[in-house]
Each structure stands twice: as structure tokens, then as C-alpha cells.
Amino acid sequence: MQTAVAAPGAASLAAIAERVRAEVPVLDQRVHGRPLVYLDNAATSQKPLAVLEAMDRYYREYNSNVHRGVHFLSARATDEYEAARQKVARFVGAASDREIVFTRNASEAINLVAYSWGLNNLKPGDEIILSVAEHHSNLVPWQLIAQRTGAVLKHVGLTPQQELDMDHLRELVTPRTKLISLVHVSNTLGCVLDVPAVVEAARSVGARVLLDACQSVPHMPLDVQALGVDWVVASSHKMMGPTGIGFLWGRYDVLESMPPWMGGGEMIQDVFLDHSTYAAPPMRFEAGTPAIAEAIGLGAACDYLSAIGMDKVHALEEDIGTYLYEQLSAVEGVTIYGPRPSAPRGRAALSAFNVAGLHATDVSTLLDNAGVAVRSGHHCTQPLHRHLGINASARASCYVYTTRADVDAFVAALRETIEFFAEVGA
């Protein structure tokens, strides 16, 4: 199976996965009497001790509100909170930490752009280009904004290989196009966006570009400046950080041009009874006491992943993702959605699939009984499932701690599940 060239690399990558695994406590348990095989990483990732300890330390040693007090604890909390912002900025290659806005999650980051930039810049007849493969969080905010502004939504379709169709995108772009907002790596198809083609199409008409990078930031090296887009959103909990925090990166001049969305403490310069002046970005967009422990946890996750090296994380995932795809596609009756791993831009280490004649929920229920955690349903991409002509799919998704043993256990349990249903005659 292994080629002479790939083998040594694969072995050292597997050693990384084993090492990380030992540092993620939740993975070491039995579920329904079987060792846990956690393959729902596209929904959320598990957390290493380093992240748990950073959050614990904040509450135990220096819990205090940020940007307010002059006392010792507040100063330390502020330092750590802002250090986390710097870590995120470095992690994604931002020009400055002033370009990182902490949000509750990626959905809130998209809503921030929609309500701040969208409401103030879109006019009736202006066009927003999305795709049929978007997560609901990159569809619904724009539907709401389109209703309010009279802007028109257009959707990029798929190629026969089930990647976003860049020829179709170029056809959709007109002088009325003001925004192209697309998923960098699809959480269902696993396909990787041709970002240069998107940026070129957008620049030809002066449109802005937002990239939903929830499934790319955790898994590959990313340089937001090199991408040439205007905004990038991502969430912490998919990259070994805690839930309750995500971030928006925006080019500073773009963020500076955006009015505040939510009002409250933190985001102001001076407040009078009838009006206020606002702080510069990023504080302008962070109303109220932020999720301090969570930001610090996210910073620790950036440190943790950077210490491994995002190039190594990506190489490891390419290896395990290809292995998953090959093993899964060898199971009779299985259809995997999205491009093959040999596609020019590859595919993410996840496989959304269906087994002929079986409902995804039935498959994942019996997999759970065997200790295997996979997602089933529409993965918040209902329009994509409709586009593919299916109601639901199951999805196995890997991360840096996923081993070949995990994939083997999953595929064995899947074969047992299929046999079980065949025996019963369902």
C-alpha cells in the first residue's frame, strides 16, 4: 500500500499524531464499552492539555476584566488577552494584531461584516455571489441583508468533480457584483477553493471578497495577506481552542471604513447622552466584556499548533485524509462526495458519504454503538444536500491526532453495520 517515497514521511507524521493524541485527554476513554474513535472533527475538535491549562490558569490566577482596571490582575488579564490577539494575528499572517476582531464564533464574524459593511454599502440591485456549497452561516446572514437592502443573491454551482465551478463564477460576476463570499474548504465536499481565481474575478469589478476559513485555518498554513481577500472568518473550537470564540480578520483599511454594529462598553471612545464616538478597530467591534478565558485558550491553541508546525499538520492530514478516502471508497455501496484526493488542490481530511440503501442516521447510530463518533445529517449545508439530490449524509473527519488505527476501526465498524442491516433485511 505505502510507496517507497511516502513511507518514511508517513511514519514520522504518524508519530506526531500519536504524540498529540497522548496530550488530548478526552480521546482516552471508552464509549459504549469500546475505545472511542473520534471522527467528528469538522464539527468540533478536541482540546490539548495546554489549552485547558491556559484557561484554568486564567480563572485560578488572574481572572479580571480587561481594558479597565489599573490593578495588577486586570493588567495581567489585559496583557494575556491582547497577547492572544497577537498569536492569532501571527497564526494567520495578519499585517497587525489590529486586524483581528474577536467574535463569539465564525457565524458572528460573518454577521458582523453583513450588518456593518453590508447594510451600509449594498443598494437595490447590487449582487452578492455565494455558492450552493455554503454553510448556513454564510447563506442566512446574506439572505437577511438582501431582504433589507434589495441586493440580489447569486450562487456558484459545482463542477462534475464536485468542486466550486470557477467558470460559473466568472459568468456570474457583473459590474453590479459587490461581494463574493465563499467557503475556503467545504465542510461537506472537502473541496479547496481556487482563491486566486476568486480574487481575480472580484478585482475585475471592484468587488470585496470574504473567505469562510473555518475548515482551512485549523488544518493548513494560511497567509491572509497572500490570499488577497478582504475578510477571513474562522472559529476557535475547530482548531483545538474553546467554544464561544472566533475571529474576523479584515484588511485594516477595510475594517476602518466599517461602522460599529453592536454598541456597548469597550467599543467607544467618548460617550455623551445623545451621541458617542467610537474606538478604532478592532475594539470598535468588540462591545461588552469579551470572552477572556476563551480568547486566551484560543491563543494557547495557536501556540500548540504552531509548535507542531502547520505545514506538518497539513501534511499529516493529507496523508490520513487520503487513507480515509481510499479505505472508505473500497467499501461496497459507499458514495463519497467531493473531489478525489488527487485533485489539483487536493481535498480536506474529511469524507461525507452515504451507503446505498441505508439512511446516514442509521449508519451513524450503529457506528456510535461501536464507539465511533461521526456526524450525520445535513452538516448545516441543506442547499448542498438538495443540490446533490440527497436528504442527509454521514461524515467522518480527521484532525492532527487521527491515526490509521482510527480509520481502520471506523471502516471495520462500518462494514459490520452494513452487514447488520443486510442480515436483518432492512
Partner 1 sequence: MFAAGLRVSGSRPGPACPHRRSSSSHAAHRSATIQLGRPAAAAAQRRQRRQLSVRADAHQPPSTQQLPASLQKIVGAFQIVPDPMARYKQLLFYAAKLPAMKADDHVPDNKVEGCVSQVWVKPELREDGLVYWTADSDSQLTKGLAALLVLGLSGCTPQEILSVQPSFIELLGLKQSLTPSRNNGFLNMLLKMQRATLALAAAQAQ
Residue 191 falls in the annotated catalytic set:
no
Binding mask 71-100 for partner 1 (x = CB under 8 A): ------------------------------
How far CA 21 is from CA of 47, 49, 381, 393, 401, in Å, comes to: 10, 11, 30, 27, 5
Q: Report the DSSP beta bridge partners of residue 102.
A: 247
- Which CB sits closer to partner 1, 140 or 153? 140
Please, which residue, 31 or 262, has the CB nearer to partner 1? 31
Residue 272 and residue 73: Cα distance in Å, rounded?
A: 29
**Minimum CB separation from partner 1 for residue 301, in Å?**
27
| 32 belongs to the binding site for partner 1 (CB under 8 A) | yes
Q: Is 5 exposed, middle or buried (0-12, 13-18, 19+ CB in 10 A)?
A: exposed
Instruction: Outline where 23-64 has alpha helix (H).
Output: 49-57
| Cell numbers at 270, concatenated | 467618548
| CB 423 to partner 1: min, Å | 8
The whole-angstrom separation of Cα 199 and Cα 377 is 32
Specify the residue, 73 or 426, whose C-beta has the smaller distance to partner 1. Answer: 426
Q: Hey, which residues between 279 and 298 contact partner 1 (CB under 8 A)?
A: none
* 421 in contact with partner 1 (CB under 8 A): yes
Contact of 219 with 32, CB cutoff 8 Å: no
Q: Which of 232, 234, 304 is nearest to 87 (CA)?
A: 304
221 grid coordinates: 498554513
- Report the nearest approach of partner 1 to the CB of residue 392 (Å): 6
Residue 368 CB, shortest distance to partner 1, in Å, is 8
- For residue 159, state whether it binds partner 1 (rule: CB under 8 A): no
Binding mask 298-337 for partner 1 (x = CB under 8 A): ----------------------------------------
Write down the residue that cell numbers 474529511 correspond to.
Answer: 350
Answer for the pair 289, 80: CB distance below 8 angstroms, yes or no: no
Exactly one of 124, 160, 206, 425 binds partner 1 (CB under 8 A); that residue is: 425
Annotated active-site residue in 191, 214, 302, 380: 380
Pick out residues in 339-398 that bind partner 1 (CB under 8 A): 358-362, 365-366, 369, 376-378, 391-392
Number of residues near partner 1 (by CB under 8 A): 20
Q: How many other C-beta atoms can be found within 10 angstroms of the C-beta atom of residue 61?
A: 11
The answer to whether 72 and 203 have CB atoms below 8 angstroms apart is no
Residues forming contacts to partner 1 in the complex (CB under 8 A) are: 32, 358-362, 365-366, 369, 376-378, 391-392, 420-421, 423-426
Q: Which residues are catalytic?
A: 380
